[in-house]
Amino acid sequence: MRNLSIYLFTFAAVLLMGCKQNEPKYIIGVSQCSEDIWRDWQNAEMRMEANFHEGVELRFTAAHDDSELQSKQIDSLVASGISLLIVAPNQLTSVSPAIDRAYDKGIPVIVFERKTDSRKYTAFVSADNYEMGHIMGEYIATQLNGKGTIMEIMGLKGSSPAEERYNGFHVAIASYPEIKVVTEIQGDWTEPTAYEAVKNWKGDLNGIDVVFGHNDRSAIGARKAFEERGARLPMFCGIDALPGVDGGIQQVRDSLLDASYIYPTRGDQLLQLAIDILDGKQYQKETMLTSALVTRDNATVLLLESDEVVRQAHNLNKLQKKAAGYLEQLSTQRTISLLALFAIALLALALVLFILYYRSKVSAQRERIVNNLWNMEAENVAKQPVRQQPTVEEPTQEPLFIIRFKDVVEARLSDSDLSVDDLAAAMNLSRVQLYRKVKAISGSSPVELLRTARLNRGYQLLVKGDKTISEVAYEVGFTAPSYFTKCFKEEFGISPSDLS
């Protein structure tokens, strides 16, 4: 008895340890220099891509344009035991020492979107900010027919995208001597800063022909200031052209912006690069992302395409959340089941001397029978009183009876008019005889077993996904899809639409 107790406790401990979730294979730290819609979109892409790689954990930080804070966040990520660092440096020089410290500790580093003044990185991913500024300069010069005035709202001082967009833009308009940049307003990539700066500018807004913001938010902030001051609205051009509601593409289509330039987020590509590096696969050290100019001529088409991408991403995200919920529920149920198994084992040990042999025999026989009955709930059996000791013939007759009963039910499952009388006739029994025999063996009535069989068949058909809910309902013998849905929810706790 003592040895059996030790065995049961050891068995339970092993099972419970099996519930412990596996440690992640890779922990990837993502250090964002700020928090905005562009980076939110990029982070969402990385999370979505992570769902396709087993054992990947992402840890995000956002520095809110504070280089000192970002340096501390990078050191904290490194101390937490990350496998790889993805970082967008707030400024060209100020964050470099923290990035170097991570690299010197043997942690691979991917620098994206913004540059560092150090060569201590594993890979670099960005779009060509100089090209963006240059093409935007050429576009604006063409729209002005080579003559006009420009207000330029620059990005965060000291950040590589702001410097490169500025240089590309000024090189482009230098070829047009009659185009003048009348003011250069220092911004920080945010809409409120641009709005306040333009609102408080002492110059004549009516003399401005074009506002060029280094990003869309700066251009939109400037537009709001023009409107508030009652000035003539010039052209407004920006860079980013995000998809989705209130993104740059929609703003161009709706004439809030005259042009923008797609600055790709490509969080999925970033994460795939990180996995390739960690897996020891070949990769490119320098990757330049493709981008394109967005004008009113192509904004509608681009918006339709981007909306479809957003819709599919949203659907994938919902699917991922639902799957995560199911997995969490499964994990909880598994833990509860293991604890219940342990408790039952201890109870069985305490009662083993008091359980009669014939009763355990009957109980075991009933369990074997019930398990053949369309995955019936075990609690239905537990509610029934214990039968008298079976006769010698019953152990061989009952399984044959149940097999025959199951065959009869499944053969006519789609018949909505199938009644207990029909089943009894097919079994060569009276209605009362059928009811008593089925109830005694299974703990359920023939009607309950028929409904359970129909619902289980319906579940199987819905999982296949090639039939509508209505088609499935009629195929398994329900007279109305609404009643099928009601019964389905009662049986499985979910709606048929969750499976279709």
CB 8 within 8 A of CB 342: yes
The answer, yes or no, to whether residue 454 has pLDDT greater than 50, is yes
* DSSP-assigned letters across all residues of 194-233: HHHHHHT--S-GGG-SEEEESSHHHHHHHHHHHHHHTPPP
* DSSP-assigned letters across all residues of 86-153: EE--SSTTTTHHHHHHHHHTT--EEEESS--SS---SEEEEE-HHHHHHHHHHHHHHHTTT-EEEEEE
- Please provide the average confidence, as pLDDT, over all residues in the chain: 83
The answer, yes or no, to whether residue 388 has pLDDT greater than 90, is no
Residue 389 CB-density burial (10 A; 0-12 exposed, 13-18 middle, 19+ buried): exposed
Query: Two tokens at 183?
Result: 């003011």
Helices 67-79, 96-104: crossing angle, 10 deg rounding: 10
* DSSP-assigned letters across all residues of 5-39: HHHHHHHHHHHHHTTSPPPPSEEEEEEESS-SHHH
Over residues 176-213, the pLDDT tens digits come to: 999 999 999 999 999 999 999 999 999 999 999 999 99
What percentage of the chain carries pLDDT values higher than 90? 47
**What mean pLDDT do residues 105-133 have?**
93
**What mean pLDDT do residues 392-421 have?**
74
244-248, 249-253, 324-328, 453-457: which has the minimum mean pLDDT?
324-328
Run of H or E residues at 174: none
pLDDT confidence bin for 382, thresholds 50/70/90: very low
Question: Does 481 or 251 have the greater pLDDT score?
Answer: 251
Closest CA to 144 of 205, 211, 241, 194: 211
**What mean pLDDT do residues 4-20 have?**
48
Beta carbons within 10 angstroms of residue 135's beta carbon: 20
pLDDT confidence bin for 323, thresholds 50/70/90: low
pLDDT score recorded for residue 391? 41
Over residues 427-453, the pLDDT tens digits come to: 889 988 888 888 888 788 888 888 888
**What mean pLDDT do residues 35-61 have?**
91
